[in-house]
Amino acid sequence: MNIKGFGRVCAFAMLCGIMITYPLFVNAQEQQKDTAKDSKSSTQQVQEAMKDPDSRTLRSDNYLNRFRAVESVEWLMKENLERIYLLKVITTNFDNADWRKAYNEIYAQYRDGLHNYYQRKVITSSIILGVDPMAIGNTSSEEILKKYPGNKNNRSAISDLLKDVAMKYRQDTNEMLDTCAKAVLIVSLNKLTRYDPDKNKQLLDNMMRLRVAYGEMDSAYEAAVDHKYMYSIYHYRVAKSYAITIMNDLISDKMARDDIQDPEEKKMYDEIIQKKNSFDLATHIADNQNKVKDKK
């Protein structure tokens, strides 16, 4: 075989070798790519599992956390629900106070907490509803709460809205009691009160009610200072109940006609009658009983 023929044979052999080994090389590269992709996917799944405190891959690691979370979430479900019902009554009765949006957000967040609880994601549920993450040994609360307004849990959101409500109640109650105090003063200076035992007793009863009402205002303020806004609202409601009783007893058109004779006193008395009429007492009465006012 001459050199030229030998070269052709070698070239043919090399071509055959390339044709045989190239698919194997390509397959090896594809397998490497698939292996790298699977490894990346597996790593991503592990990272996502680490973000989920209720992930099944962590069940053996967070048994005690789950145990503590179950106790916390069951307590929070009851406590938050009581406050949400209170807010439902208040936002419905005073629908012009611009609290509805915040209430709807609180309601939706509470619903999410319950949804996670029934799916047995108790750690996630407890963080949403308001447990301190460090109390159950979890630090992923920011990731869980970032979809809620202000990154707040349900209990904190409820507390913030109750604080706004308590401030409005304080303002309303102060105005009511101020009107009552003016009525008590006018009736005290009226000459008929001096000589009529029944009217004098009526005055003394209402003076005592006014004292008790202002005592409830003090208790409401102290509860607010201690961040117990729900109890602060209850105290304001009691104070408003006394104020409404005083106004109904001492401020009326009948008393203006029959008992108030002095022109100056009559002018002041007419002003407090107008002030009393400016309060929506029917709504306040229903709200004091923790009921929604019947629109009918």
> Per residue in 35-83, pLDDT tens?
555 554 555 554 555 556 655 555 545 666 777 778 888 899 999 999 9
Torsion of CA 10, 11, 17, 22, to 10 degrees: 160
Q: Does residue 123 contact residue 63 with C-beta atoms inside 8 Å?
A: no
Residues in the chain: 296
Q: Cα–Cα–Cα angle for 60, 64, 69, nearest 5°?
A: 115
Task: State which amino acid sits at residue 169.
Answer: Y
Predicted TM-score (pTM) of the model is: 0.78
- For residue 138, what are the contacts with CB-CB under 8 A and spacing of at least 6? 53, 62, 65, 123, 127
Instruction: Identify the residue whose tokens are 């203006």.
Output: 256
Residue carrying structure tokens 């007793």: 201
Using an 8 Å Cβ cutoff, are 224 and 236 in contact?
no
DSSP character string of 146-161: TTSGGG--HHHHHHHH
pLDDT, tens only, 94-126: 988 889 999 999 999 999 999 999 998 888 898
Q: Are 138 and 123 in contact (CB under 8 A)?
A: yes
Q: What is the mean pLDDT of the chain?
A: 82
Banded model confidence at residue 3, pLDDT cuts 50, 70, 90: low
Q: Quick one: which of 183, 293, 160 has its CA closest to 248? A: 183
Helices (H), 52-119: 63-93, 100-118
Longest Cα separation, the chain:
150
